[in-house]
Structure 1
Amino acid sequence: MKARQLVNKKAYLVVLFSLVLTACSTVKVSTDYDQSADFTALKGFNWLPESAQVEKENSYLNNRIMDVRITKTIDKQLVAQGFKFSTAADFYVNYSITSEKKTDIRRYDNYSGYGPSWGWGVGYGHRGMSLSAHTETRIDEYQQGSLVIDVIDPTSLELIWRGIGSKRLPESTDAAEMDKLVADVVKSILSKFPPKASK
């Protein structure tokens, strides 16, 4: 019975560790904005003229296919939020992407077995069962990708809102999975736009 409980405990730890890794893959979003800007007046949008090209910094993300994917996804999300694509835009939108190598170090107990032991108590020798355990360290290297979406005043060309979404990048994906990844990140960022008026 005790041995079974130990096996179950070890299985529980493995499941818990997997859930932690999954939780770390969620999109982390941060935003900043010009508090003097009137976001209630923003209705129509367009892309920043001659500036919507992706900088060629990372071959993992930066290519024509990815550029089209991100651009269309941002267009679709803004329309879904009630904005309209317009040649007489109230605001311009632009984006950039970066990728950074990260290292994740985790330590956890590895229960290696349940076996007999011999020891001394107060005046008595005794036999028993003991759990042997040791700590293992797991080092995981991965790429952390960040998508930056900028909202720009069309008259002054000044930045009035910025949203940054960061997420751990998968080692490999197909086109459908990449579509879902981009849609998830874009939606997470633009859900914060426009900023809510402070009370």
Structure 2
Amino acid sequence: MRPLILNTLLVVVLAMTGCTTVQVSQDYDPHADLSRYGTWQWRDPVQAATGDIRVDNPLLDKRIRHAVENHLASRNLNPSPGKPDFYLTYHLSIEQKIQSDTYYSTVGVGSFYHPWYGGVGTETCIRQFDESRLTIDIHSADTGDLVWRGVGTYRLRNYKTPEDAATAAQKTVDKILFQFPPHRQP
């Protein structure tokens, strides 16, 4: 009975830690001088409709845009009423994923008369979840070319309050935009 409780506890802890992390990545044009960028504008007034009501949510759009604006303001990157240095876009998508975990739950040992008998018992847990992917793109205002892309991938969660949802959006955006501008290696 004790191994079952420990295994169950392990699965719960792993599931909880999997829900709270945001995996980030970036890609950029190594020839673009991103450090000179100081002013920006949104390229589109809202994200294009996806057909998924979880994504096509005006309240969520406002939260993401507000989080991006807050982060950029904290880094002295300001919105421009005229021609900016760069344009911003974002894209949010949600995709259904399946995760399986196999763990060893019991160990059997043979008896005196049959020492070759024995084995290891395993259990496999299969979980279905929704994975969110927030992509933030920075386009050169001069050429319109994509010069930087940051992506954050995380498990979709439901929040009890709008404030909790806004805090989560801010943390996700901060983690993605922390990579901008990329640090050049000497």
Same fold (TM over 0.5): yes
* Residue among 64, 77, 83 paired with 2:77: 83
Letter in 2 for 1:63: N
Deviations 1:87-143 (A, max 9, x none): 2321111111111110011122345xxxxx994359xxxxxxxxx974222111111
Letter in 2 for 1:18: V
Q: Please state whether the residue corresponding to 2:48 is helix, strand or coil.
A: coil
**How far has the Cα of 1:16 moved from its partner?**
2.5
Letter in 1 for 2:67: T
Letter in 2 for 1:120: F
Separation (CA, whole Å) in 2 of partners of 1:146 and 1:152: 19
Q: Please state whether the residue corresponding to 2:148 is helix, strand or coil.
A: strand
* Residue among 65, 68, 75 paired with 2:62: 68
**How far has the Cα of 1:74 moved from its partner?**
0.4
* 2:104 match: 109
* Residue among 8, 11, 22 paired with 1:14: 8
Select the structure with the greater relative contact order (CA < 8 A; seq sep ≥ 6). 2
Separation (CA, whole Å) in 2 of partners of 1:85 and 1:118: 72
* Residue among 68, 73, 92 paired with 1:97: 92
Deviations 1:132-182 (A, max 9, x none): 974222111111010010111112111110001010112x32322321221
CA 1:106–1:75 in 2, change beyond 3 Å: closer, same or farther? Answer: same
* 1:160 match: 147
2:15 is aligned with 1:27: no
* 1:128 match: none
2:159 is aligned with 1:173: yes
Separation (CA, whole Å) in 2 of partners of 1:100 and 1:65: 20
Q: Please state whether the residue corresponding to 2:144 is helix, strand or coil.
A: coil
* TM-score when normalising by structure 1: 0.79
* 2:171 match: 184
CA 1:95–1:59 in 2, change beyond 3 Å: closer, same or farther? Answer: same
Task: Give 1 or 2 for the bigger CA radius of gyration.
Answer: 1
Kindly report which structure 2 residues correspond to 1:113-124, keeping only aligned pairs within 5 A, or say none. Answer: 119-121=111-113
* 2:48 match: 55
**How far has the Cα of 1:61 moved from its partner?**
2.2
**How far has the Cα of 1:190 moved from its partner?**
0.2
Q: Please state whether the residue corresponding to 1:24 is helix, strand or coil.
A: helix
Any conservation in 2 of the 1:46–1:85 contact (CA below 8 Å)?
Answer: yes
